[in-house]
Amino acid sequence: MSAQTDTPGSVTAVYQVSGMSCGHCEGSVSAEISEIPGVSSVKAVASSGEVTVVSAAPLDEEAVRAAVDEAGFELTGRA
């Protein structure tokens, strides 16, 4: 399944996540956020703490917060 970030009608949001320090951290956060219904793409970058999420519609920030928490990290806000 390949996601296109330029698909009409898609929404891109960038979140700040604290505590990521490596590729494994990026993978954990990406995997949890990918489970949220409607999410088509997730790119986490440990060095900046930014997580870019592409979805079919705007996501509930609490759902994103819960997914990040489940991965063991903290959502500190939107970038």
Domain extents in the chain: 11-78
What is the distance between the alpha carbons of residues 1 and 71, in angstroms, rounded to a whole number? 23
- Whole-model pTM: value is 0.88
pLDDT (tens digit, 0 to 9) for every residue of the chain, 79 residues total? 334 445 567 999 999 999 999 999 999 999 999 999 999 999 999 999 999 999 999 999 999 999 999 999 999 999 8
CATH number of this structure's domain 11-78, picked from the four choices 3.40.50.10260, 3.30.70.100, 3.20.20.20, 3.40.605.10:
3.30.70.100
Dihedral sign from CA coordinates of 65, 44, 18, 79? negative
